[in-house]
Structure 1
Amino acid sequence: MKNLIFILILISSFSYSQEIALLKYNGGGDWYANPTSLPNLIKYSNQTINTNIKSKPATVEPGSPDIFAYPFIHMTGHGNVVFSDAEISNLRNYLLSGGFLHADDNYGMDKYIRKEIKRIFPNNDLIEVPANHPIFQKPNVFASGLPKIHEHDNKRPQAFGIFVDNRLVLLYTFECDLGDGWEDSEVHNDPKDVREKALKMGANILNYIFNN
């Protein structure tokens, strides 16, 4: 019955509103990094792909039932991520009920978030999302997959995912830093074309969530 109520809340959210959220997690990592990124992505998405997302994202904690009100939850940071057992269970229920989590490594999150993702889905492996997946094809085409935004360790950008019944429920972007590319231009002084690539990729993620 509890899961059914959560599913009905999520369906109601999909049907009557478009609102996204930032995940406030424990462990000491700076979950609050990139404060201008989601507002800028929302504005870009509303202007270019006809979404109708509220301009200010919510902030939600992983153990809260409030997560079921948001079809898309974004998390970022440079450091440690720790979920309690109750938060793991809540996140798993959320993702299995139709929710979507995007974890964007802001450089330094990798070794921590991979362990927590494995706790959420112990029987599912993170696999690289192929370049022909719809998330890279609509409405903007990224023929080579995830674009490179920031260099970090000079490795290629990679998008990893957890798939449940062929549905991408969790996206982990590594060696890319999409969130930095979504920030106000003066924050990182990224060239206009780099910011545009980041915003287009972000719009693709939102398009996938709201149309699949």
Structure 2
Amino acid sequence: MKKILLLFLFSFTINAQEIALLKYNGGGDWYGNPTSLPNLIKFCNQNINTKIKSKPATVEPGSSDLFSYPFVHLTGHGNVVFNDNEIQNLRNYLTSGGFLHIDDNYGMNKYIRKEIKKIFPNNELVEIPPTHKIFQGPFSFPNGIPKIHEHDKQKPQAFGIFIEGRLVLVYTFETDLGDGWEDEEVHNNPKEVREKALKMGANLVHYVFVN
């Protein structure tokens, strides 16, 4: 574990201002919402003083390159499957300082929960309270995760995995932040809705890069 942690810290120093999109197997469209991360990065660089590279990287869950990125994003519709090597690599990454944001773009819920349980069989995926740091700043969300895009008329929720008090994984459900990050013409979301989504995304980035 010490070797893994040192590897992560070394990679983090080199690539501390990069975000990656997770390319997974299983048939789900991991490449969905192509304009989301570039727009989120631009918003963060302009509003919370980050200096993230404008083009997000793409990384596979079983790759050692995973340890080069302090923030990794996963999205899509439908099935997600991690093999044993990928599960171990993701567990090592997350317990060594990494962070994974999973955003259900619709239809992912029943699949991703099984895979999260494989990564952390002894840790419960719990709802994150509105009092947590990710909802406090730099933008305030006193009621927790905002509703961005309607799926099944359920309330928006943010779930997390905590390791020794550190939030290492956030799963956003029935909110679809990524749709709000996309170019305006993709979903025709009102400006205030897109801004709300970008601000919540910026809070996640801030939590990883600043806290």
Indicate the TM-score class for this superposition, using the shorter chain for normalisation: over 0.9
Counterpart residue number, 1:196: 195
Where does the alignment leave 5 or more consecutive residues of structure 2 unmatched? none
SS at match of 1:160: strand
Q: For the residues of structure 1 that align with 2:191 and 2:48, how far apart are their CA atoms?
A: 19
- Structure 2 contact 20–58 (Cα < 8 Å) conserved: yes
- Structure 1 contact 7–68 (Cα < 8 Å) conserved: no
Query: For residues 147-169 of structure 1, what are the alpha-carbon distances to aligned partners after superposition, in whole Å with 9 as ceiling and x for unaligned?
Result: 00001001110000000001000
Deviation at 1:193, TM superposition (A): 0.2
Q: For the residues of structure 2 that align with 1:15 and 1:109, how far apart are their CA atoms?
A: 33
Deviation at 1:11, TM superposition (A): 1.4
SS at match of 1:52: coil
Q: For the residues of structure 2 that align with 1:10 and 1:27, how far apart are their CA atoms?
A: 27
Deviation at 1:192, TM superposition (A): 0.1
Deviation at 1:173, TM superposition (A): 0.1
Counterpart residue number, 2:13: 15
Deviation at 1:130, TM superposition (A): 0.2
Q: For the residues of structure 1 that align with 2:155 and 2:12, how far apart are their CA atoms?
A: 34
SS at match of 1:168: strand
SS at match of 2:200: helix
Counterpart residue number, 1:119: 118
- Structure 2 contact 12–67 (Cα < 8 Å) conserved: no
Instruction: Give 2:7's aligned amino acid.
Output: I
Query: For residues 183-212 of structure 1, what are the alpha-carbon distances to aligned partners after superposition, in whole Å with 9 as ceiling and x for unaligned?
Result: 000000000000000000000000000112
Q: For the residues of structure 1 that align with 2:6 and 2:186, how far apart are their CA atoms?
A: 40
TM-score (norm 2): 0.97
Counterpart residue number, 1:130: 129
SS at match of 1:9: helix
SS at match of 1:125: coil
Query: For residues 35-74 of structure 1, what are the alpha-carbon distances to aligned partners after superposition, in whole Å with 9 as ceiling and x for unaligned?
Result: 0000000000000000010000000000000000000000
Q: For the residues of structure 1 that align with 2:75 and 2:167, how far apart are their CA atoms?
A: 19
Instruction: Give 1:194's aligned amino acid.
Output: V
Counterpart residue number, 2:37: 38
TM-score (norm 1): 0.97
Deviation at 1:7, TM superposition (A): 2.0
Q: For the residues of structure 2 that align with 1:191 and 1:9, how far apart are their CA atoms?
A: 43
Counterpart residue number, 2:103: 104
Q: CA RMSD in A?
A: 0.9
Deviation at 1:13, TM superposition (A): 3.6
- Structure 2 contact 103–172 (Cα < 8 Å) conserved: yes
Where does the alignment leave 5 or more consecutive residues of structure 1 unmatched? none
SS at match of 1:89: helix
SS at match of 2:46: helix
- Structure 1 contact 178–202 (Cα < 8 Å) conserved: yes
- Structure 1 contact 20–57 (Cα < 8 Å) conserved: yes
Q: For the residues of structure 2 that align with 1:24 and 1:45, how far apart are their CA atoms?
A: 23
Deviation at 1:9, TM superposition (A): 3.1
Counterpart residue number, 2:64: 65
Counterpart residue number, 2:4: 6
Aligned pairs, number = 210
Instruction: Give 1:103's aligned amino acid.
Output: I
